[in-house]
Structure 1
Amino acid sequence: MPLISSDYNPPLLFKNGHFSTLYAGLLRTVSGITQERERILLPDGDFLDLDWSYGPQRTRKVVILLHGLEGNAQRPYMTGSAKMANTHGYDACAVNFRGCSGEPNILYRSYHSGATEDLDSVIHHILSAKIYAEIYIKGFSLGGNLALKYIGEDRQISEAIKGVVGVSVPCSLYSSLKQLLQPKNYLYAKRFKDHLKAKMRAKQQLFPSKIQDEDITQIKTLKDFDDIYTSKAHGFKDALDYYTQCSSLQFLPQITIPALIINAKNDSFLGSECYPYQEAKENESVFLEVPEYGGHVGFYGNQNTTYTEKRVIAFFDAL
């Protein structure tokens, strides 16, 4: 499909990408939502924690929400999306990736940008244990990449899955990494790296034979983390092999379910390859919206409701 024009035009302060990103990540709060936790067991013996929220009336429609790197189901962009879904006739299943629910996961492995097997387990659980006839998926950043990869892979997709939206999606993981390693993103990258190293130290307590002190001290950048832990724990040769295999960009041509990608032009995390203009032009199921503003998972809106929260419900409602 052609590029979708965007009418997103925030107040002047929020036209700054960094301010929009920081406000959404550090200052925004969302109230008025109650989540109920459900733990599901995965085929490999590990677990996932799902945080459910419900609308005032019974519905057979559910939105699966997937967070970004080092996020969780309680981040404002997740609870805001769940609240918006609940008030518009959808239940919400906010997924905490492995090790992100406040409790370390059991296995040496964790989560990553291409771990679609875990999303598949969530979908199978919903289809087998719940009453929903329609499933929608909304992923942020890493979670958006994972969602798009899932519906573009060579797999049998359930007819219950009606639509997918990715917000601030690093469609090319290596292109995004190169942006994160630039000076303009130093503070973001350091925050991610510090969180990941802390989790690695906790993982070391469970698997001392697999993680040495020198492994942790060698991590100076996010790429180092992916070289030393992510790739080795998940069956990739190195970080570049991980980025190559797991970037959703290569899977977009195979997508047959309506999928919307919303990536702001002033998202400092995204390189040029993260804006799949050609892929959207050539695939009638892939819609690309590139607002001028929004930052990374920002998109400030009035009444504490972001532009993408409103936009996504409109997209799902229209399917």
Structure 2
Amino acid sequence: MKYVAPWWLPGGNSQTIWAALRSGRYLGDAPIFRRARWVAPDDDFVDVDFAQHASAADAPLLVVFHGLEGSSASHYAEAFAGVARSRGWACAVPHFRGCSGELNRAPRAYHSGDFEEIDWILRRFRRQHAGPVVAVGVSLGGNALMRWAGEMGAEAASVVTAVASVCSPLDLAASGMAIGQGFNRQVYTRMFLRTMVPKALKKLDQHPGLFDRQALLAARDLYAFDNIFTAPLHGFEDADDYWARASAKPHLQHVAVPALALNALNDPFVPAGSLPGAADVSPFVTLWQPAQGGHVGFPSAPAGCAAFPGNVRVMPEAVTAFLAAQL
């Protein structure tokens, strides 16, 4: 992927923030989603939003796994839905538990390495869709998706035709440390905790005694939050154990389905030095590591469009073109 940021967005933070808040997401009308509620294997639920545009019954289905605290309303989800519409593909956005606007019921939430959750969701899509299934995971969702692909090995090809991760923290410890420092701590960490902490407290109301309320209220970074909430609720000893075992990077050598890992080298909280190189991945994995783009940013002003405010279509168009080439 060749990407050059607009001259008026010179750094990773500006490319990240502007893309999320100001750039255009789609051409024409906004994507419209229809929600379906799926019962999970543990009798909890997952809400899946299906884009309501025309597509043939046997057209490819693009499954978009969102990032931390994301949803079908995230800028990248709407952008991917718009690109799917332009290709005549179906598109669906499954929500990780607690991210659809309604708190899930079980004494758990979601986490970066939940490949079991990815597995049953993708297998259900495979059973009910007549055409090929391709999947893209963004940020946290991409790590979980790649973790699944590595875990499944050759079996993944019976479920999906191809997968892609976008700006994913494939080394969770490196990214967790980066987001907890300096500007990242003051801006991105605070943004995430602003929604994560209240949801965790509601989970405690559902299941009294699940964790230490005062310890959670004292959390000021994602390490502390994961140490108190995410790790113990999902079977990990602590945040260090969670970040080590849930990271997809050590499993990329076992991927046996066409896969793309796209990471900008100036991503504010996915350090370039933590990204996989050719020796870290199987021959099925393609690495795209452009110099610019930020974190799920890639704002652009294509020919024929006004240079300001730009849009975020260039990344989903490139990723979807990769997936299309595998069909």
Q: TM-score, normalized by length of structure 2?
A: 0.91
Which residue of structure 2 lines up, in the alignment, with residue 77 of structure 1? 76
AA in 2 matched with 1:121: W
In structure 2, what is the Cα distance between the partners aligned to 1:202 and 1:273? 37
Which of 134, 141, 144 is the aligned partner of 2:142?
A: 144
Aligned to 1:192: 192
- Bigger CA drift: 163-172 or 305-314? 305-314
Aligned positions of 1:299-310 closer than 5 A: 299-302=298-301, 304-310=311-317
Partner in structure 2 of residue 315 of structure 1: 322
Structure-2 residue corresponding to 1:176? 175
Give the one of 43, 50, 53 matched to 1:52: 50
Equivalence for 2:308: none
Partner amino acid for 1:298?
Answer: G
CA distance in 2, matches of 1:283, 1:127: 24
What letter matches 1:81 in structure 2?
F
Name the residue aligned to 1:12.
7
Give how far 1:84 is off: 0.5
8 Å contact from structure 1 (residues 269, 296) kept in 2: yes
Please report how far the alpha carbon of residue 133 of structure 1 lies from its aligned counterpart in structure 2 after TM superposition.
2.9
Which residue in the other structure is 1:135 paired with? 133
Whole-angstrom CA distance in 2 between matches of 1:132 and 1:149: 26
Gaps of 5+ in 1: 1-5
Amino acid at match of 1:137: A
| Aligned-residue offset at 1:54 | 4.4
Please, which moves more after superposition, 238-247 or 29-38?
29-38
Note closer, same or farther for the CA distance 1:89–1:59 as it changes in structure 2 (3 Å cut): farther
State the AA in 2 paired with 1:105. Answer: N
Q: Give, in angstroms, the shift of residue 90 of structure 1.
A: 1.3
Aligned-residue offset at 1:29: 5.2
**Structure 1: how far apart are the matches of 2:168 and 2:55?**
32
* Counterpart Cα distance in 1 of 2:249 and 2:64: 20
C-alpha separation in 2, matches of 1:65 and 1:262: 15
Identity %: 30
CA contact (8 A) 1:38 1:51 kept: yes
Contact 1:236 1:242 in 2 (8 A): yes
Aligned residue for 1:264?
A: 264
Residue in 2 that maps onto 1:3: none
More moved, 234-243 vs 22-31: 22-31
- State the one-letter code of the partner of 2:251: F
How far residue 311 of structure 1 moved from its aligned partner, in angstroms, is 0.4
- Indicate whether 1:247 and 2:254 are aligned: no
Where does residue 87 of structure 1 map in the other structure?
A: 86
Conserved? CA contact 1:54–1:90, under 8 Å: no
* Deviation of the 1:230 alpha carbon: 0.6
Tell whether the 8 Å contact from 2:211 to 2:228 is kept in structure 1 after alignment. Answer: no
Paired residue type of 2:227 = D
The Cα of 1:87 is off from its aligned counterpart by 1.4
Who is 1:228 aligned against?
Answer: 228
CA contact (8 A) 1:98 1:104 kept: yes
Q: Which moved more, 1:240-249 or 1:117-126?
A: 117-126
- How many equivalent residue pairs? 312
Instruction: Give the 3 Å change call, closer, same or farther, for CA 260–218 of structure 1 in structure 2.
Output: same
Equivalent-residue separation in structure 1 for 2:119 and 2:208 (angstroms):
30
Displacement after TM superposition at 1:32 (Å):
2.4
Change (3 A) 1:164 1:219: same
Deviation above 4 Å: which 4+ runs of structure 1?
Answer: none
CA distance in 2, matches of 1:29, 1:44: 39
Mapped partners of 1:9, 1:192: distance in 2: 28
Q: Tell me what 2:291 maps to.
A: 292
1:204 aligns with 2:177: no
SS at match of 1:251: helix
Unaligned 5+ runs, structure 2: 306-310
The one-character-per-residue Cα deviations of 1:59-104 (angstroms, maximum 9, x if unpaired) are 4210110111111111111011111012112111111110000000
Q: 1:22 aligns with which of 17, 28, 39?
A: 17
| CA deviation after TM superposition for structure 1 residue 157, in Å | 2.1
Q: 2:286, 2:317 → 1: CA distance?
A: 16
